[in-house]
Amino acid sequence: MTKPITHIAGYPRMGARRELKFALEKYWSGQLQKAELETQGRQLREQHWLEQAKAGLDFVSVGDFAFYDQILNLSQLLGVIPPRFHTTDQEDDLDTYFRMARGRAPCGQPAAACEMTKWFDSNYHYLVPEFQPQQLFNLNAQRLLAEVSEAQVLGYRPKVTLVGPLTYLWLGKPQGEFSALELLPALLPVYAQLLQKLADQGVDWVQLDEPILALDLPQEWKQAFETAYNQLQAVTINKLVAVYFGGLQDNLGLAVNLPVAGLHLDLVRAPEELEQVLDRLPGYKILSAGVVDGRNIWRADLAALKANLESARERLGERLWLAPSCSLLHLPQDLAQEDQLDPQIRAWLSFARQKLDELALLAKALDDGDAVETTSVWIEQQAAVKSRQTSALIHSPQVAARLAAITPADLKRPAAYALRAAVQKQALNLPLFPTTSIGSFPQTPEIRKTRRDYKQGQITDDTYRQVMQEEIAQAVREQEALELDVLVHGEAERNDMVEYFGEQLEGYAFTRFGWVQSYGSRCVKPPIIYGDVARSQPMTVEWSRYAQSLTAKPMKGMLTGPLTCMQWAFIRDDQPREVTCKQIALALRDEVQDLQAAGIGVIQIDEPAFREGLPLRQADWAGYLRWAVDSFRLSASVAEEATQIHTHMCYSEFNDIIEAIADLDADVITIETSRSNMELLDAFEDFEYPNEIGPGVYDIHSPNIPEVDWMVQLMQKAAEKIPAERLWVNPDCGLKTRQWAEVRPALAAMVAAARQLRRDYL
């Protein structure tokens, strides 16, 4: 028996040093020609294929590369281009692509960018397909076919990965009163045409990602799977249907019986389904076992995985394939660059490049365990796993004792919202439709250089503090000139909204190059939570106190909430998420108390990951929402009546969890609504949301300057659903990625819109 086939569903595309990010941003700013951008993309693909081949994988992954987003790739491939982006033949397809993503590109007229939202329960954002009534689909596969050729010319065996037709329709948004499922008959022939072209080009395996099979699906969607894959069966190419981020549960029978050549399971999220699938898998079908974690950075316990898979190996023989649980897109690329991590912690880690080696090593062990398990690489792997399990770095008795002492009283504000609102109104003296921003202001090259120089020891503490205070003072002057009502200090001292706090908390570790794509060219560097979390000293008080001293207007203290601090990190897998989250909440509770004592009367605790952390299955929602809400309230409930607590959430659908959001009991919530044209507020209307809300009136991820009339119209829509006296006017997210030349006119227009609204509603 030969060793199991090994493959992956996708690889990080930014490059080990974010080469694609910098190339994209140069292209958008006119500093790089299209041909140079294409060359950078091709070089990265070649490098990533080489890494896969060197590790010994049997396929290289094609179709996972994107200049912005893989769903946007598919929309362009299928001809799903909204009418506002239709253009002349003179505009390159790549610029149409970027206009859909960003609202503008080097060529073509600006237009409102496509809506963006989270990819299932991850922090990756995809561009939402827009479906018109009687949507036409037209194949435009030249770019994908060219990438297949690139791999073949280099001597690799490509496995093409595509999002499957049902998941693509599910993720899209109909522009009218119809179901996306109605478009399936028009879509399937185009998928079949694409599969045939791939077959004609010599591709023998195509992976069709259908992660919606891990969701609670309506019956008509389940039936559509059988219809779709029976129709696609006519194309003679091997199809591997992939499910990840959760188990199949009630969809298991449907998935195993689809007329395809193979099925991929996420056996990290749903290890219990292996035996169930083995009992029901047809004899002709391969099983791709997703056993190496594609969402987290801990080394795999290969001995345990081997033991769990031996039965499957005996029953399936060569029909057992091995893979990560999902695409490795969600991981940093290469641990080899991390030369400044604590050696003990570094030994516990495995990034995308190392996951390839783990996969190949596991395949060899299943083929010839006696030979592999005596090698130094196997022994070292297992020693690292055992070291983490027994390390004294992980547990703190003091943190455990404090967690055990939490009482129900710790989760409640001292007064109900109605009473707090009256007290805050008198204390803050804000106008109707008060204006504010979400928190951050542009992170200029000078700010980044100062932070970098300070971290590298090239400037003193005093010099660093002086420069940061000058930046804060400049941000305050800008806001006062614009006549905003509630100010922020601009966050010049912060590298990232999660990393900044993690650097000051015990139990966190940090990488130098552990970048992960969030969307487009935007990358984040998630911290690593390896042990119990605690705060040893104030984290933000000095900067907020200084900023408040510069103005008579209210100054917001800015914190990242416990759930987001956890969700946007690589978290421990040796204890429940609830425990980690509440440890962070206790640390933030201390920070809220210190900010309040320093005279900060408005404190924002951002929770953009609140919806993202929701389990995929509704049966699991109640448990998650209970501890997620409790964690937020644990951090915020120490605030006095006069202290106004804000929270911010972005790019999420709230309709199904609106009661839990209300239960957070924040005085003010700010959300993203500009790209969705205020559609998200439907949830707040139906539920009669009781507190104040700031629906974002312009899209900060687009460089386009918003028009006053447009923002007024959006707020008028909001006032139809929420009483005007409970509405705020703000952007939809922080402004750190923008430039001051864009921020000033945008905020000036926003303030002008608020003034017009006051005239109309007073």
Q: Catalytic positions, please?
A: 701
Contacts 24+ apart (CB under 8 A), 448-456: 451/493, 451/495
Q: Where are the beta strands (DSSP E) in 49-109?
A: 60-62
Please state, in angstroms and as integers, the Cα–Cα distance from residue 624 to each residue in 14, 654, 658, following that order.
32, 15, 14
Strand 125-127 to 116-118 pairing: antiparallel
Length in residues, the chain? 762
Cα torsion 60, 61, 66, 69 to 10°: value is -160
CA distance 326 to 323: 8
Best CA proximity match to 246, nearest among 649, 621, 517: 621
Contacts of 299 (CB under 8 A, 6+ apart): 347, 348, 349, 350, 354, 358, 381, 384, 385, 388
The two structure tokens encoding residue 29: 């700013």
Q: Please, where are the H alpha helices in 395-527? A: 397-404, 417-428, 445-455, 461-482, 499-502
The helices-and-strands tally (H runs, E runs) of the chain is 28, 21
Best CA proximity match to 70, nearest among 183, 161, 197, 198: 161
Q: What's the sign of the alpha-carbon dihedral 347, 353, 359, 364?
A: negative
The two structure tokens encoding residue 513: 């190059």
Contacts of 673 (CB under 8 A, 6+ apart): 679, 680, 681, 695, 696, 697, 714, 718, 732
Please state, in angstroms and as integers, the Cα–Cα distance from residue 667 to each residue in 421, 650, 693, 715, following that order.
7, 17, 8, 19
The two structure tokens encoding residue 277: 């699938």
CA distance 590 to 310: 50
Classify residue 485 by its DSSP letter: S
Query: Count of alpha carbons within 13 Å of 544, Cβ hemisphere only?
Result: 24
Residue for token pair 């119809």: 178
* Side chain identity at residue 670, one-letter code: T
Contacts of 196 (CB under 8 A, 6+ apart): 235, 237
Helices 577-597 and 397-404 cross at an angle (nearest 10°) of: 80
Task: Return the SS3 of 508.
Answer: strand
Q: Where are the beta strands (DSSP E) in 151-226?
A: 158-163, 173-174, 205-209
Burial pattern 546-564, b for ≥16 Cβ within 10 A else e, equals bbbebeebbbbbbbbbbbb
Give the bridge partners for 62, in sequence order.
160
Q: Where are the beta strands (DSSP E) in 610-664?
A: 644-649
CA distance 122 to 638: 30
Classify residue 298 by its DSSP letter: B
- Residues 613 and 437: beta-carbon distance below 8 Å: no
With 0-12 CB in 10 A as exposed, 13-18 as middle and 19+ as buried, what is 491?
buried
Please state, in angstroms and as integers, the Cα–Cα distance from residue 699 to each residue in 52, 105, 380, 673, 712, following that order.
38, 16, 49, 8, 14
CA distance 206 to 90: 33
The two structure tokens encoding residue 178: 């119809």
* Side chain identity at residue 258, one-letter code: L
Could you give the strand order of the β-sheet that contains 692-695, starting from the edge strand earlier in sequence?
Answer: 556-560, 602-606, 644-649, 668-671, 692-695
